[in-house]
């Protein structure tokens, strides 16, 4: 299942009652979503809304699951602008810069920062449970929640930052099938976290801080092309540090994913 459809099925579908939805089956012309690019035959529900694209000044079809990111709702999402006494714009899921989201089979949790937390809590019928935690702490917090889940909670969707770039976010949504490998999604990228590797690194950080700092430096420099893969110093270090060698062999091949891993620790 597409990540955006999973989000709709397990979280955002109540918004449908407020949307001005049309049925794609009533159209004589083929319809594709302007946000996700999928034809209506691939949507989880055959419903869409015509929305004005301000750049091209034309109405474009947005499938209902994608439309939930655009939809402003005082009832479900509180306020985006203004105050609880004088709201000027309804909250939108696709505008929550700096906020994360975890949706499982049983839970729907928004990780909020102080500014958004106050505005989202004005919702009269909130869709999501709110946990006020942001920054690097939010990732650690979300990962710990995921690692404590039972098998019945999977698959699940974890978004580290909802941001504002809705089409890019939708394109990067990937479901996490098990806690052994967690997909961390955002509008900028999706990267896969090997939780066994993360635990090995944290063990090394606790028991061999100097060794980890040295390995971290080698990883960082190699990702930026500052040392070659056959660097003598790197291989001499790995040959005398079995724990570091095991970690090095488990690292993702993509240098961008390696750097994402370092930033998450």
Give pLDDT tens digits for 150-200: 999 999 999 999 999 999 999 999 999 999 999 999 999 999 999 999 999
Distance, CA of 48 to CA of 190 (rounded, Å): 26
Say what the pLDDT of residue 90 is.
Answer: 96
Say what the pLDDT of residue 228 is.
Answer: 84
C-alpha distances (whole Å) from 79 to each of 66, 67, 93, 256 are 20, 17, 11, 36
Q: Which residues make Cβ contacts (< 8 Å) with residue 46, sequence separation at least 6? A: 23, 24, 25, 40
Say what the pLDDT of residue 123 is.
Answer: 96
Over residues 111-130, the mean pLDDT reads 95
Q: Where in the chain are the domains?
A: 3-69, 93-195, 196-264
pLDDT for residue 57 is more than 80: no
pLDDT for residue 14 is more than 80: yes
Q: Is the CA virtual torsion 102, 106, 107, 108 positive or negative?
A: positive
Over residues 4-32, the mean pLDDT reads 96
Residue with tokens 């402003």: 72
Say what the pLDDT of residue 96 is.
Answer: 96
Over residues 227-238, the mean pLDDT reads 86
Say what the pLDDT of residue 85 is.
Answer: 84
């Amino acid at each position: 299942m597409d990540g955006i459809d999973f989000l709709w099925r397990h979280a955002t579908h109540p918004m449908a009652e407020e949307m001005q939805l049309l049925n794609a089956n009533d159209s004589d012309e083929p319809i594709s979503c302007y946000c996700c690019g999928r034809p209506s035959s691939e949507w989880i529900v055959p419903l869409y809304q015509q929305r004005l694209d301000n750049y091209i000044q034309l109405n474009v079809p947005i499938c209902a699951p994608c439309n939930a990111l655009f939809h402003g709702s005082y009832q479900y999402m509180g306020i985006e602008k203004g105050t609880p006494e004088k709201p000027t714009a309804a909250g939108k899921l696709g505008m929550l810069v700096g906020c994360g989201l975890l949706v499982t089979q049983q839970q729907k949790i928004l990780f909020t920062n102080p500014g958004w937390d106050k505005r989202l809590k004005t919702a009269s019928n909130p869709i999501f449970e709110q946990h006020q935690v942001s920054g690097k702490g939010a990732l650690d917090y979300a990962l710990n929640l995921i690692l404590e889940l039972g098998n019945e909670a999977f698959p699940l969707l974890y978004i580290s930052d909802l941001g504002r770039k809705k089409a890019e976010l939708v394109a990067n949504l990937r479901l996490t099938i098990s806690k052994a490998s967690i997909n961390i999604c955002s509008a900028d990228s999706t990267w896969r976290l090997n939780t066994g590797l993360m635990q090995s690194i944290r063990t090394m950080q606790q028991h061999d801080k100097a060794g980890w700092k040295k390995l971290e430096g080698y990883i960082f420099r190699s990702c930026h092309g500052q040392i070659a893969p056959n660097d003598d110093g790197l291989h001499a270090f790995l040959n005398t540090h079995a724990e570091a060698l095991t970690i090095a062999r488990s690292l993702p091949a993509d240098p961008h994913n390696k750097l994402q891993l370092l930033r998450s620790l």
